[in-house]
Amino acid sequence: MSESDHMETFCNKTSGNFTRNSTYHTNLNALLSILSNQSSLDNYYNLTTGLASDTVHGMFLRTGDVNRTTCNFCVKTATTKISKNCTNSREAVIYYFDCMVRYSDRFFLSALETQPNTFLWSTDPTPTTFGKFRQSLADKMGEVIVRSSMLSSSRTPYYLMDMTRFDNLYDLESIVQCTPYLDPGNCTTCLKLALQEIIDCCSDKRLIWTPKCLVSFDTYNSLLSPLPSPTRSGSFSIRGERIYIYIYNKSFPAPCAEIIIFNIIFFYFKRKF
């Protein structure tokens, strides 16, 4: 896993800091170690360590389109990086293309949260020949979101990938996923809110991670190349001079934000709220 697979790390400074070698620190290290080890066995996992003010809640989630080997490597990398980036933070979340890891001193599993989030899109413009692209996209993504909310008991809860051809010319690959701890109603709400963040922009490939869900879509000209294998990471890989733009929304006042730098020009924006 390359550094470019890391999207963003957020450290919540408002939740306070813990003291090095304190009981909370020990509990956090134990939690991250267990998450790392468990990622070779499960698609998602959560646990709680410690008692009272030293309690730490944590979880990981891998995207449904990657295998367990990739998941294991992603989570192992993420648990190491989050502890380095957020040295004394009592709450943090880290996003990679293929997984997310989070811990906190408060219970968060069943709550609907859409921030902090991170998203990207390619600078490739929406195809001018793709008639009514936005409406077609909105309709299809809405359908996929509704279908995914019915998958709470599947092996990878709420995960759905859909391939659809539009105008006999373009193939749309869409992927949505929620954390398994949300109820179907909150999953649907999370996905709809996430989609609103990215649907009105300007390109044919977009992805957003929030603490509770993932939405991505990609379009391919079916006349220029065969239908690609269904893997989101491949869809968003660098091709030629393509440039990808990362944006993050921060609800944590002082995120440990790292800009992913490629060997091409990168534009970076910060949205305040």
Q: What is the pTM of this model?
A: 0.80
The tens digit of pLDDT for each residue in 21-47 reads: 999 999 999 999 999 999 999 889 999
Q: What is the mean pLDDT of residues 225-232?
A: 51
C-alpha 195/C-alpha 216 separation (Å) is 8
Residues 169 and 72 in one domain: no
For residue 72, what are the domain limits? 3-104
For residues 236-255, give the mean pLDDT.
Answer: 40
What pLDDT is stored for residue 267 in this prediction? 30
The CATH number of whichever domain residue 180 belongs to comes to 3.30.430.20
Q: 147 and 13 in one domain?
A: no
Q: Tell me which of 2-6, 234-238, 244-248 is least confident.
A: 234-238
CA 182-89-247 angle, to 5 degrees, is 65
Q: Which two tokens stand for residue 192?
A: 């709809």
94 shares its domain with 128: no
Same domain, 44 and 19: yes
DSSP string, 118-143: EEEEESSBPPTTSTTHHHHHHHHHHH
Mean pLDDT on 50-58: 97
Regarding predicted confidence, which is higher, 42 or 245?
A: 42
Same structural domain, 78 and 128: no
Could you tell me what percent of the chain has a pLDDT over 90? 53
- Closest among 174, 175, 182, 140 to 157, alpha carbons compared: 182
Over residues 219-237, mean pLDDT: 53
Q: Is the same domain home to 136 and 223?
A: yes
- What is the pLDDT averaged over residues 233-245? 35
Residue 155 confidence (pLDDT) above 70: yes
Instruction: State pLDDT tens for residues 170-186.
Output: 788 899 999 999 999 99
pLDDT at 244: 36
Q: Are 70 and 176 in the same domain? A: no
The 10s digit of each residue's pLDDT in 87-123 is: 999 999 999 999 999 999 999 999 999 999 998 877 6
Q: Are residues 24 and 147 in the same domain?
A: no
* 132 and 248 in a common domain: yes
CA distances from 242 to 43, 125, 218, 245, 262 (A): 31, 11, 14, 10, 11
